[in-house]
Amino acid sequence: MPLDITLFGVQMPTLLPIFFVTALFQILIDRVLADAGVYRHVWHPGLFRTAVFVCLFAIPCIAIYR
């Protein structure tokens, strides 16, 4: 897989679109978890949100750069 992609004539690293897709997916998951009341049982919600984002971002990154 190439390390750079061209989108509308702009060359960018492959991680940038993955980051934006992960951010949108994180917003969706965050709303679902908030509605389910998961954050009432989590010690530090901000840290938990960050950890979930890092895990979601790392999965496709590891798959691509493997």
What are the residue ranges of helices labelled H in the chain? 15-36, 45-64
Angle (nearest 5°) at CA 62 between 34 and 36: 10
Higher pLDDT, 58 or 9: 58
Measure the N-to-C terminal CA separation of the chain; round to a whole number of Å. 10
Within 8 A by CB and 6+ apart from 63, the residues are none
User: Looking at the predicted structure, is the pLDDT value of residue 5 above 90?
Assistant: no
DSSP state of 41: S
pTM: 0.83
Token readout for 12 is: 């960018």
pLDDT for 65: 80
- So what's the pLDDT on residue 2? 63
pLDDT at residue number 50: 97
Q: Where are the domains of the chain?
A: 4-64
pLDDT tens digits for 17-50?
A: 899 999 999 999 999 999 999 999 999 999 999 9
